[in-house]
Amino acid sequence: MTTLTESVSVERDGDVAFVVIDNPPVNALSFHVRQGLLDGVNQAVGDGAKAVVVICEGRTFIAGADITEFGSPPKGPSLQDVQAVMEDCPIPVIAAIHGTALGGGLEIALCAHYRVAVDSAKFGLPEVKLGLLPGAGGTQRLPRVVGVAKALSMMTSGQPIGAQEAAEYGLVDEVVDTLRSGALSFADRAVSNGWPLSRIRDRNEKLAEGTPELFESFRAGIARKTRGFLAPEYNVQCVEAAVNLSFEDGLARERELFMELMTGPQSAAQRYYFFAERAANKVADVPRDTPKLSIERVGVLGAGTMGGGIAMNFLNAGIPVTIVEREQAALDRGLAVIRKNYERSAKRGSISAADVETRMNLLTPSLDKNDFADVDMVIEAVFEDMDLKKTLFAEFDAICKPNCILASNTSALDINVIASVTSRPQSVIGTHFFSPANVMKLLEVVRGDETSDTVIATTMALAKTINKVAVLVGVCHGFVGNRMLFVRRLEANQMVLEGATPAQVDRVLYDFGFPMGPFAMSDLAGLDIGWKAETSTSSSIRELMCESGRRGQKNGRGYYTYDAETRASTPDPEVETLIREFAQSQGIEQREVSDQEVLERLLYSMINEGAAILQEGIAARGSDIDVVWVNGYGWPVYTGGPMYWADSIGLDKVVEQINHYYQNSGASHWKLAPLLSRLAASGEKLQNAVP
């Protein structure tokens, strides 16, 4: 074995040279990897090897360019230099793939003459998720292998495909049982049979499907999902270049668009966000080696909107769930919703019909809480009522085995009060899922005063197992996300009293990049949640709306009116009159409110609240707040999240406006958070701030 750089070595096995990359954790293409690869292939040829296998140690094949190097001056050979040496190598080069061949990693593999992979390997170009496009020829080579339509979908979604699918599309030449011996056998056959040195760049036959109509319909198909993002469209343009230009000109176009994205604000925000999400999973005062509990069976109490969705997350991960309800009808209803969701996924093709049954078979329905006796974690998802939750946690305490984690899905209540009714407050934690719980990625993990490190570490790790992005938060009303949402809602309501319309407020947020504004969201959720006719006193717009029979989308009348068939919404003049009259009755004079004011009041109020949350230690870092808002509330990731966005505007400007709105309104949520004031004065960033 020859060591070439700190992360690459070459080993010989008969006629075949193995260039071995070992750059933990994900074998990213740091400069020493690029140098080692280049030297390794050259050395193999110089030493008279008859074939080269590029293979990785550790958990994965190369998972991409080293994102930490982005923005620094280039060092060592470029990716393109390495690719040229591989592609033009006079002996067969075979990429042997396990784990994930992503981004630059897949682009390296596309320059090998052949690719072999184990069955569990995955292949993808996820650059779009970083606001980028594959910048090392991936946009020109992938469509030449898998075809234009498949390349477009892989590049604009960033989603990887599995080895079997990759083999069907010609991306993998052989799926092998054991990576090293399978690759060796493949290489030996390539040599003895004199297989050609196949260069993807020379293959053009699959480009023929790239008609203008295909591009047009593809663009229409992704328009809604990719609204506001630059990178998906640029990825499409690169594939168009692959179809319409020569390979070399296509590469030049790819380079040009790549550089534009790389130096632009969206990718900077999305790259920041990539690391923010990973930082969120680390808890400063809980050591990484804290022992974790094994969670092999979960109990869920309540099979309503949230309980059913929560259960699905565990079933999807192969973890059995016992779900308990208070009455048969509610249990049946809950189970039917779960089954219907799975059947819909099967119909769409995202899971198989057999998966539906496998998952349903992992679910044990019951009406008896004693069935929680053997679960490792129980998650309560009943009505938002403190007395009820206290009664139930006292019961859990009596029923559940020692060390069982007792979790509540409360969206705002005090976890410490809930914990206080048990004899084991160290086992109590909040797991705040977002609706629909089987879809939304965010999990706010709420740490009580006495929650143990083990319970925190276990819950954070479990979140990853069930494919959630977890953020650890402290106890306060509404935790991080809802507490900021409450402030935004106050401002939205106040502004419509002052003369903005619900449609204007919603439009401003939609144009900013949110999927919908607060009034459309209220209509969707139902205006009558928590409202009772008997106690309604016409003292808010919402009460007036409910009193006049406006319940939201469900009865076709809310802040908007909804078409019974298409569900299309139109602003309703009756609502505007209702609001105007109520404002008058409150002595509020209506005026024109500018879009800029709407935007600032909705979002700067949240920034101020976010800073207060940070200062109180409810969030552990500024970036955690961004992770909450991007994953839980649809804040557009290409602006990074509220804290990052505030930094990009300039905290001094934000502070000036917050002070202005405080002077105008005197409302307590506009009182400048001291942390924000301090950061603005010192020129530090909110995204990096800690309590």
β 428-433/442-446 pair status: antiparallel
Distance CA 361, CA 357 (A): 6
Mask: binding to ligand NAI, 432-461, rule CB under 6 A, as x and -? -xxx--------------------------
> Binding residue for ligand 3HC (CB under 6 A) from 127, 491, 506, 572?
127
Q: Which of 87, 107, 325, 600 is catalytic?
A: 107
Pick what 264 binds: ligand NAI, ligand 3HC, none; C-beta below 5 to 8 Å, kind-dependent.
Answer: none
Instruction: CB nearer to ligand NAI: give 179 or 323.
Output: 323
Is residue 6 annotated as a catalytic residue, yes or no?
Answer: no
The residue range among 86-94, 98-106, 312-320, 570-578 that interacts with ligand 3HC, by the rule CB under 6 A, is 98-106
Distance CA 606, CA 520 (A): 19
What is the dihedral sign for C-alpha 287, 290, 295, 298? negative
User: Which parts of 24-53 interact with ligand 3HC (CB under 6 A)?
Assistant: 25-26, 28
**28 with 63: CB under 8 angstroms?**
yes
Is residue 127 annotated as a catalytic residue, yes or no?
Answer: yes
Instruction: CB nearer to ligand 3HC: give 72 or 663.
Output: 72
Distance CA 469, CA 557 (A): 35
**300 with 365: CB under 8 angstroms?**
no
Distance CA 434, CA 380 (A): 14
Residue with tokens 């790549």: 258
Pick what 502 binds: ligand 3HC, ligand NAI, none; C-beta below 5 to 8 Å, kind-dependent.
Answer: none
Beta bridge partners of 473: 446, 619
Pick what 435 binds: ligand 3HC, ligand NAI, none; C-beta below 5 to 8 Å, kind-dependent.
Answer: ligand NAI
Mask: binding to ligand NAI, 467-496, rule CB under 6 A, as x and -? ------------------------------
Q: Does 325 bind ligand NAI (CB under 6 A)?
A: yes
The distance of closest approach from Cβ of residue 470 to ligand NAI in the complex, given in angstroms and rounded to an integer, is 15
Q: Phi and psi (nearest 5°) for 317?
A: -90, 5
Q: What six digits make up the tokens of 111?
A: 């320059």
Mask: binding to ligand NAI, 410-429, rule CB under 6 A, as x and -? xx------------------
Q: Does 77 bind ligand 3HC (CB under 6 A)?
A: no
The distance of closest approach from Cβ of residue 689 to ligand 3HC in the complex, given in angstroms and rounded to an integer, is 19
Return the number of other C-beta atoms located less than 10 Å from residue 482's C-beta. 20
Pick what 400 binds: ligand NAI, ligand 3HC, none; C-beta below 5 to 8 Å, kind-dependent.
Answer: none
Mask: binding to ligand 3HC, 106-125, rule CB under 6 A, as x and -? -x------------------
Q: What six digits make up the tokens of 629?
A: 């808002």
Distance CA 655, CA 657 (A): 5
Strands, E assignment, 350-441: 363-366, 377-380, 405-408, 428-433
User: Which parts of 574-633 interact with ligand NAI (CB under 6 A)?
Assistant: none
> Binding residue for ligand 3HC (CB under 6 A) from 77, 135, 517, 552?
135
> Binding residue for ligand 3HC (CB under 6 A) from 85, 130, 418, 495?
130
Pick what 66 binds: ligand NAI, ligand 3HC, none; C-beta below 5 to 8 Å, kind-dependent.
Answer: ligand 3HC
Q: Which of 87, 127, 254, 543 is catalytic?
A: 127
**164 with 175: CB under 8 angstroms?**
yes
Beta bridge partners of 95: 54, 115
Strand order of the sheet with strand 161-162?
Answer: 100-102, 122-124, 161-162
AA letter at 398: A
What number of helices (H) and strands (E) belong to the chain?
27, 20
Distance CA 381, CA 310 (A): 9
Pick what 325 binds: ligand 3HC, ligand NAI, none; C-beta below 5 to 8 Å, kind-dependent.
Answer: ligand NAI
Instruction: CB nearer to ligand NAI: give 158 or 481.
Output: 481
Q: What six digits make up the tokens of 626?
A: 């961004």
Q: Does 102 bind ligand 3HC (CB under 6 A)?
A: yes
User: Which parts of 373-412 interact with ligand NAI (CB under 6 A)?
Assistant: 381-384, 409-411
Q: Does 68 bind ligand 3HC (CB under 6 A)?
A: yes
User: Which parts of 264-323 interact with ligand 3HC (CB under 6 A)?
Assistant: 278
Q: What six digits make up the tokens of 4?
A: 């070439």
The distance of closest approach from Cβ of residue 180 to ligand 3HC in the complex, given in angstroms and rounded to an integer, is 21
Beta bridge partners of 337: none
Q: What six digits make up the tokens of 384?
A: 């938002």
Q: Return the ∠ at Cα 243 (arms to 239 and 244), rounded to 5°.
A: 115
Residues binding ligand NAI (CB under 6 A): 301-307, 324-326, 330, 381-384, 409-411, 433-435
Residues binding ligand 3HC (CB under 6 A): 25-26, 28, 63-68, 79, 100, 102-104, 107, 126-127, 130, 134-136, 138, 278
Annotated catalytic sites, by residue? 107, 127
